[in-house]
Amino acid sequence: MPCLPRRARHRSMLRPMADADPGFAPAKVNLTLHVTGRRADGYHLLDSLVVFADLGDRLTVAADEALSLRVTGPMAAGVPTGADNLVLRAARLLDPEGAARITLDKHLPAAAGIGGGSSDAAAALRLLSRHWKRPMPDRVEALGADVPMCLDPRAQRVGGIGERSMIVGGLPELPAVLVNPGAPVATPAVFARMTRRDNAPMPPELPVLATPGAAAEWLAAQRNDLEGPACAVAPVIRDVLDALGDARLARMSGSGATCFGLYDRPDDARAAADRIAQTEPGWWVRVVTLNPSA
């Protein structure tokens, strides 16, 4: 596999793309997640290749005299609606006095390793900074380690505890299936289960991967170091990975429990999703394109 220099841009913090759809909060998928160390404050150092999906939550804002949030949509159940919702926390970080009527239409499962809450927070920051004409706050990572990477939903290599990002090119669109078994998994519980925290990073230069097959082959030699600990917390994750056994690559995203399967063609992904949905009607199963408009 040639190791070519990639089109890359180093930034300590991502800024929203000028042409990003500001109210769309796409699912985040960690194609790799190498845990390479731990900071003195307990947070873990990561080396992760992150992409976003063409599936996500949707935020809208309207002028009003107070700040309010309504959560709707097929995955609204159980999502906090009060001040602890990341959308309201993002709004307050941007402007403690700001007023708006916000609607969050949930399509992603919560506490699922696909950054739904973080992506919602990033979308709230994008939308409300326009609506209120306020600059983006400096320390958005105060909302969560995943929030900075969600501000600019393009493929990126993430370092530090999640706050350092580098946009990467050379990845194709990836036909995929996302599967969540409906067991919420708490991120701190998974990190706490790790027995080894000084694991190897990815290679310094990522290769150019022209096709889904080439991407799956290279990714298979990388890892998600949280997969084993997450399976110990929620053993059903093993069943999900087994169900995705016909994929070119099956792996867990983030701290779980959502797993992704990569396929050569969208038709292959659709066939796998139909089969899994029939066998496990209680699971959340979606056909997606990862890294859309690559």
Ligand X SMILES: Nc1ncnc2c1ncn2[C@@H]1O[C@H](COP(=O)(O)OP(=O)(O)O)[C@@H](O)[C@H]1O
Please state whether the peptide bond connecting residue 257 to the residue before it is cis, i.e. omega within 30 degrees of 0.
Answer: yes
Q: Is 106 a catalytic residue?
A: no
Residue 161 contact, options ligand X, ligand SUD, none, Cβ 5-8 Å cut-off depending on partner type:
ligand SUD
Distance CA 9, CA 29 (A): 20
Q: Is 70 helix (H, G, I), strand (E, B) or coil?
A: strand
Told to check if 110 binds ligand X by CB under 6 A, we report yes
Question: Of the residues 105, 120, 146, 225, which is catalytic?
Answer: 146
Question: Of the residues 28, 47, 120, 152, which is catalytic?
Answer: 28
Our CB check for ligand X shows the closer of 36 and 187 to be 187
Q: Is 28 a catalytic residue?
A: yes
User: With contact defined as beta carbons under 8 Å apart, do 90 and 9 qualify?
Assistant: no
User: With contact defined as beta carbons under 8 Å apart, do 94 and 120 qualify?
Assistant: no
Binding mask 246-285 for ligand X (x = CB under 6 A): --------xx------------------------------
Q: Which of 109, 181, 254, 261 binds ligand SUD (CB under 6 A)?
A: 254
* Angle, vertex CA 66, rays to CA 62 and CA 71, nearest 5: 60
State the burial class of residue 293 (Cβ atoms within 10 Å of its Cβ: 0-12, 13-18, 19+). exposed
Q: Which of 46, 87, 178, 206 binds ligand X (CB under 6 A)?
A: 87
Our CB check for ligand SUD shows the closer of 30 and 129 to be 30
Distance CA 28, CA 24 (A): 12
Site for ligand SUD in 150-189 (CB under 6 A): 161-162, 187-188
Told to check if 32 binds ligand X by CB under 6 A, we report no
Q: Which residues are tagged catalytic? A: 28, 146
